[in-house]
Amino acid sequence: MFDPFIAPSGTLLGLLQRGRGDGTLHALTAPRAEALAALNQCVLRDPRQDWQVENRSLYYARLYLDLNGELDAIEAHLFGPEDVLDADESRTGLTLAVLGHLASYGRLDALALLRRYAAHGSNWAWALDELALRDDDAGLRALAAPVLARFGTDAEGEAELAAAVRDAFEPRPWRLWAEDPRESIATRVRAAQETGCFDRWQRQMRPTGPRPGWSVRAVFEWAQAGMDRGAALHVPAARCLVAVAGPEDRPEIVQAARTGTDAARCTALRYLADSNDPEALGLIEAAVADGTTVVVEAAVDAFERMRSVAAVDRARRWAQRPDPLGAAAGRMLACRGGARDKDLVLGALREVVRGEGPDAPTLWTLVDGAGRLGIACAAPVLRHIYRETASSHLRGRAAHALAATDPSFATGFAVECLWDCEETTREIAARHAETGDARVVERLRRLAADPAEEAEVQTAVRSRFGPDAAGD
């Protein structure tokens, strides 16, 4: 997937790309043409850092509704020449998801575009999944012939069809087509369903990886063979050691953690850390000092998984280190430290923002830690992260932390969070936003009545208006 250009956070485009509530509020007061241009740019060029954890589709769909936006740009994007040249689902996935939400709100033009794209577009499977949730039976049955026509009737085509049926995210269309009155369609789909079930059974019955009867050395060799072909297997290999290693094997495992091959060293470090071996912390420190990049990463990861009191104590000693182990120590204290560790966590948080900026992956844990420990002095840094990060997921974590550290949150960021793209952020806003602001009451009522809103958000809204709600 392409790396999107993210506009500055103070611009309308930058706000919409980030999915911030202020993006919607600014768009509704901006000239309509300007707002729609920025919205279309976001929908046609997915701005998310990670589509698997960040939401945008409902946020953008709601704004299309508020602006009464036309879908001409979306239609051109879906059916342009690039759809043939670039079949990567990341090019059209967000667009199709937005259309799905618009269809659920009753936009018939969005429903028509989804049907047309399912019949003729390259990312047809995504469109079909959207329709499976929103279209009626008649609309889905009409797509049976054009979808099946994508697959040849030779052995290769039937295998591809079986794989499509097996891997479908939403099975409803295929179940309808299996009962289609047209025998040619029903017979073919039922055969594909049967083949897909058999393929799944075969995969489940085909064992892979080392067996419990293997020796410790065999597990290390298996991990090394994986590394040689570019596959990191030290994590499953460490789990295998749990099954095959006995007390008599400990010296061999400790030696591997000191001087073994990269794969053996990674495997041994993970195994020793998970079992809280008394030598694990010293071996991890040594690995960070003299190991390769792969070994250092495995050692740091193994350390962060540790839950012992000794590991937390060692984190307090390591937190000032200017290396990956020091960064890991800060994250460990953020997760498992106590009130005495507030200054260390705050220092780690500030250092990461200064050195790596507001989108550093390590901030997720540190931001959570600032909120968990109630570090009031972290509020300015958290507000900076909230404003500047391109990750809506990290911004949501910052909002949760601000709710615990910033007395101004209820009258400040909590208000705009009611329009945020992330449901967890809207939920925290629904619980905290000061209802003295007329916009807050109106927005809460709208969220409560919106059938597309998540249940957790609506529960939070009802807690503000219900008979047991505390007065604001």
**In the predicted model, what is the mean pLDDT of residues 243-261?**
94
Task: For residues 273 and 53, give the distance between their C-alpha atoms in angstroms, rounded to a whole number.
Answer: 29
Task: For residues 353 and 331, give the distance between their C-alpha atoms in angstroms, rounded to a whole number.
Answer: 14
Answer whether residue 209 shows pLDDT above 80.
Answer: no
**In the predicted model, what is the mean pLDDT of residues 321-349?**
96
Task: For residues 462 and 411, give the distance between their C-alpha atoms in angstroms, rounded to a whole number.
Answer: 19
Q: Which string of b and e fits 219-242 if b means at least 16 CB within 10 Å?
A: bbbbbbebbeeeeebbebbbbbbe
- What pLDDT score does 141 carry? 95
- What pLDDT score does 3 carry? 64
Predicted model pTM: 0.89
Over residues 116-148, the pLDDT tens digits come to 999 999 999 999 999 999 999 999 999 999 999
**In the predicted model, what is the mean pLDDT of residues 278-300?**
96
Task: For residues 180 and 187, give the distance between their C-alpha atoms in angstroms, rounded to a whole number.
Answer: 9
- What pLDDT score does 265 carry? 97
- What pLDDT score does 51 carry? 84
**In the predicted model, what is the mean pLDDT of residues 252-267?**
95
Half-sphere exposure in the Cβ direction for 307 (13 Å, CA): 2
The set of residues, in sequence order, having a beta carbon less than 8 Å from that of 164 and lying 6+ positions away, is 125, 151, 192
Coil vs helix vs strand at 435: coil
Half-sphere exposure in the Cβ direction for 369 (13 Å, CA): 28
Answer whether residue 411 shows pLDDT above 60.
Answer: yes
- Confidence label for 468 from pLDDT (cuts 50, 70 and 90): low
Burial class (CB in 10 A: 0-12, 13-18, 19+), 89: middle
Are 377 and 407 a contacting pair, CB within 8 Å?
Answer: no
- What pLDDT score does 207 carry? 54
Task: For residues 24 and 17, give the distance between their C-alpha atoms in angstroms, rounded to a whole number.
Answer: 11
- Confidence label for 460 from pLDDT (cuts 50, 70 and 90): very high
Q: What angle do CA 408, 409, 414 make, to 5 degrees?
A: 140
- What pLDDT score does 198 carry? 47
Answer whether residue 202 shows pLDDT above 80.
Answer: no
Nearest alpha-carbon partner for 338 in 375, 303, 367, 300: 375
**In the predicted model, what is the mean pLDDT of residues 191-206?**
62
Helix 93-104 to helix 32-44 angle, to the nearest 10 degrees? 120
Q: What angle do CA 50, 53, 56 make, to 5 degrees?
A: 80
- Confidence label for 465 from pLDDT (cuts 50, 70 and 90): confident
Determine which helix (DSSP H) or strand (DSSP E) holds 369, and give its type and residue range.
helix 363-372
Over residues 57-70, the pLDDT tens digits come to 999 999 999 999 99
Over residues 164-196, the pLDDT tens digits come to 999 889 999 999 999 999 998 999 999 988 885
- What pLDDT score does 1 carry? 45
Determine which helix (DSSP H) or strand (DSSP E) holds 428, and give its type and residue range.
helix 423-432
- Confidence label for 471 from pLDDT (cuts 50, 70 and 90): very low
Are 383 and 352 a contacting pair, CB within 8 Å?
Answer: no
Task: For residues 240 and 213, give the distance between their C-alpha atoms in angstroms, rounded to a whole number.
Answer: 10
- Confidence label for 221 from pLDDT (cuts 50, 70 and 90): very high
- Confidence label for 197 from pLDDT (cuts 50, 70 and 90): low
CA–CA distance from 27 to each of 8, 74, 277, 287, 456 (Å)? 15, 19, 57, 52, 26
- What pLDDT score does 472 carry? 45
Answer whether residue 242 shows pLDDT above 70.
Answer: yes
Nearest alpha-carbon partner for 308 in 342, 343, 345, 281: 281
Half-sphere exposure in the Cβ direction for 310 (13 Å, CA): 10
- What pLDDT score does 293 carry? 96
- What pLDDT score does 214 carry? 82
Q: What is the pLDDT of the chain when averaged over all its residues?
A: 92
- What pLDDT score does 186 carry? 93
- Confidence label for 206 from pLDDT (cuts 50, 70 and 90): low
**In the predicted model, what is the mean pLDDT of residues 376-387?**
97
Answer whether residue 379 shows pLDDT above 70.
Answer: yes
Share of the chain above pLDDT 70, in %: 94
The set of residues, in sequence order, having a beta carbon less than 8 Å from that of 335 and lying 6+ positions away, is 365, 368, 369, 372
- What pLDDT score does 49 carry? 87
Enter the DSSP assignment of 471: P
